[in-house]
Amino acid sequence: MTAAAALDQRRLLADSVADYCRRSDPLRRARTLRGTDPGFDRSAWQEMAALGWLGVGVPEAWGGLGLALAEQAVVARGLSAAVMPEPVTAAMIATRAIVGCTDGALKATLLEGIVAGAILPALAWQAMPGDIDPSRCAVVAAPDPAAPDALLLDGRACFVVAACGADGFVVAVRTPDAPALCWVPAGTPGVSLSAHRLADGRPVADLSFERVGVPAGNRLAVGEAAREALAAALDEGQFAIAAELLGLSQRLLDITLDYLRTRTQFGKAIGSFQALQHRAVDLYIHLRIGDAAFDQALRQAGDGDPARRSAAASRAKARACETARHITREAIQMHGAIGFTDDCDVGLYVKRALVLSAWLGNARLHRGRYAALVPLDAVEA
Partner 1 sequence: MTDPRAPTAAAAATDWDALPDDVFRLQVRAWLQANCPEHVRFPAGRMHWHECRDWWEILYRQGWIAPAWPRALGGMGLSPIKQIVMVEELERHGCGRMPDQGITQVGPIIIRYGTPAQKDWYLPRTLSGEAIWCQGYSEPNAGSDLASLQTSAVEDGDDYVINGSKIWTTLAMDATHMYVLARTDRSVKKQEGISFLLLDMKVPGIMVRPIRNIAGDDEFCQVFFDDVRTPKSNLVGALNQGWTIAKSLLGFERLGIGSPRRPQLAFARLEKLARARGLFADPVFMDRFTALRLDIADLSAAYEVFVEQVRRGEPLGADVSLLKIWATEAMQRSSELMIEAGDEHGALGGDSDVDGVAMNVLAPFYSSRPGTIYGGSNEIQRNILAKAVLGLPQ
Q: Which of these ranges, 20-28, 240-248, 347-355, 369-377, lies near partner 1 under the rule CB under 8 A?
A: 369-377
Q: Which is nearer to partner 1, 219 or 326 (CB)?
A: 326
Q: 3-class DSSP state for residue 58?
A: coil
Residues near 204 by Cβ (< 8 Å), separated by ≥ 6? Answer: 159, 160, 161, 163, 195, 196, 197, 198
Cα-to-chain-centroid distance, residue 60: 22
Q: Which of these ranges, 52-60, 163-171, 277-285, 327-335, lies near partner 1 under the rule CB under 8 A?
A: 277-285
CB of 310 to partner 1, least distance (A): 15
Q: Tell me the C-alpha distance between 99 and 111, whole Å.
A: 8
CB of 321 to partner 1, least distance (A): 11
Among 318, 331, 334, 360, binds partner 1 (CB under 8 A): 318
Residue 25 DSSP one-character state:
-
Q: Which is nearer to partner 1, 196 or 288 (CB)?
A: 288
- Is 296 a binder of partner 1 (CB under 8 A)? yes
- Is 3 a binder of partner 1 (CB under 8 A)? no
**Dihedral of alpha carbons 63, 78, 92, 371, sign:** positive
Q: Tell me the C-alpha distance between 294 and 246, whole Å.
A: 9
Q: Which is nearer to partner 1, 186 or 280 (CB)?
A: 280
Task: For residue 70, give the nearest of 50, 90, 56 by alpha carbon.
Answer: 56
- Is 268 a binder of partner 1 (CB under 8 A)? yes
Residues 325-364 binding partner 1 (CB under 8 A) are 364
Q: Tell me the C-alpha distance between 158 and 98, whole Å.
A: 20
SS (H, E, C) 277-302: HHHHHHHHHHHHHHHHHHHHHHHHHC
Q: Which of these ranges, 6-14, 62-70, 110-118, 260-268, lies near partner 1 under the rule CB under 8 A?
A: 260-268
Q: Tell me the C-alpha distance between 149 and 168, whole Å.
A: 21
Q: Which of these ranges, 49-57, 90-98, 220-228, 284-292, lies near partner 1 under the rule CB under 8 A?
A: 284-292
Bridge partner residues of 214 (DSSP): 151
- Is 284 a binder of partner 1 (CB under 8 A)? yes
- Is 290 a binder of partner 1 (CB under 8 A)? yes
Query: Which residues contact partner 1 by CB under 8 A?
Result: 257, 260-261, 268-269, 271-272, 274, 277-278, 280-282, 284-285, 288-290, 292-293, 295-297, 315, 318-319, 322, 364, 367-368, 370-371, 376, 380-381
